[in-house]
């Protein structure tokens, strides 16, 4: 019995040594021990982001309204902007791109879970049916002289998707807070083609237009 106990102790020691060696090899291969602690979190974030960027890249362009308000236009999304958002894991802004600009629910796992599987459909206020359109912005934009070429479509959505930390679905439809408008910035790159460069939430003034619109933009070219 004494020999049997010693043998079991020896086996346990061997297994512990092997486990330690395997762990050390894994750490060295990772070149970053912190990844051991974050491995599940990183893989979870990667799965969250997997389908949405593919969907946006496949979008290519959205339908919009010409700044004159007379003709439909095509509005491709800047690939550089999307690449940056994906790299920075800007989930909320990617959700806005998918839903408010492309008119589609974010393609993440189990989308609709928080809404009891109901599809809200696209927002009535869209690039093709904006509230206002302005041409020219009164602030520097990337390169000198470019600010006068920027067009701004102002949308008034009632709902948007936000990112939530959920194991089931990371996209949840929520009401837009009262008094907020959604601004989409673009510039003309061809006949009836405007490239989308950026988008953001802005405050609405008492008349429903962007607050301090006269100080923000050069000219209002359309009012829906």
Kindly tell me if the per-residue pLDDT of 71 is higher than 80.
yes
Q: Does residue 57 have a pLDDT over 60?
A: no
Residues 200-211 have pLDDT tens digits of 999 999 999 999
Q: In the predicted model, is pLDDT for residue 139 greater than 90?
A: no
Mean pLDDT of 109-126: 82
Domain ranges (residues) in the chain: 60-223
Q: Which of 30-44, 120-134, 152-166, 174-188 has the lowest mean pLDDT?
A: 30-44
Looking at per-residue pLDDT, the higher value among 85 and 5 belongs to 85
- Across 127-141, b (16+ Cβ under 10 Å) vs e yields bebbbbbbbbbeeeb
In this predicted model, which residue has the larger pLDDT, 166 or 6? Answer: 166
pLDDT at site 64? 95
Residue 43: is its pLDDT beyond 50? Answer: no
Mean per-residue pLDDT for 156-168? Answer: 90
Sheet with 61-65: strands ordered across: 61-65, 72-76, 193-203, 180-190, 150-155, 132-137, 217-223
Greater confidence (36 vs 121) lies with 121
CA distances (Å), 74 to each of 125, 181, 185, 186, in order? Answer: 17, 22, 14, 11
Question: What's the pLDDT at 6?
Answer: 60
Q: Would you state the pLDDT for residue 61?
A: 80
pLDDT score for 209: 96
How much of the chain exceeds pLDDT 90, in percent?
A: 42
pLDDT computed for residue 142 by the predictor: 61
- What's the pLDDT tens digit per position in 164-194? 888 889 899 999 999 999 999 999 998 889 9
Sign, CA dihedral 58-142-128-117, equals positive
Least trusted range by pLDDT, from 52-61, 178-187, 194-203:
52-61
Average pLDDT, rounded, for the chain: 78
CA distance 55 to 106: 8
pLDDT at 113 over 50: yes
93-105: per-residue pLDDT in tens?
999 998 999 888 8
- Token pair in block for residue 177: 């807070």
């Amino acid at each position: 019995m004494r020999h049997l106990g010693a043998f079991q102790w020896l086996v346990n020691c061997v297994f512990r040594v092997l486990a330690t060696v395997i762990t050390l090899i894994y750490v060295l291969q990772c070149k970053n021990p912190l990844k051991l602690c974050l491995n599940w979190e990183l893989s979870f974030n990667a799965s969250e982001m997997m389908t949405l960027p593919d969907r946006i890249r496949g979008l290519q362009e959205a339908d919009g309204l010409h700044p004159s308000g007379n003709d439909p236009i095509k509005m491709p999304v800047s690939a550089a902007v999307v690449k940056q958002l994906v790299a920075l894991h800007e989930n909320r802004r990617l959700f806005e791109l998918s839903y408010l600009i492309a008119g589609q629910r974010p393609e993440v796992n189990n989308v609709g879970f928080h809404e009891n599987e109901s599809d809200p459909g696209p927002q009535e206020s869209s690039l093709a049916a904006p509230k206002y359109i302005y041409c020219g912005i009164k602030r520097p934009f990337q390169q000198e002289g470019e600010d006068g070429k920027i067009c701004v479509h102002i949308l008034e959505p009632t709902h948007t998707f936000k990112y939530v930390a959920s194991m089931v679905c990371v996209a949840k439809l929520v009401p837009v807070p009262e008094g907020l408008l959604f601004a989409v910035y673009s510039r003309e790159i061809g006949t009836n083609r405007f490239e989308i460069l950026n988008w953001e939430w802005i405050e609405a003034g008492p008349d429903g237009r962007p607050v301090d619109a006269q100080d923000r933009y050069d000219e209002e070219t359309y009012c829906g």
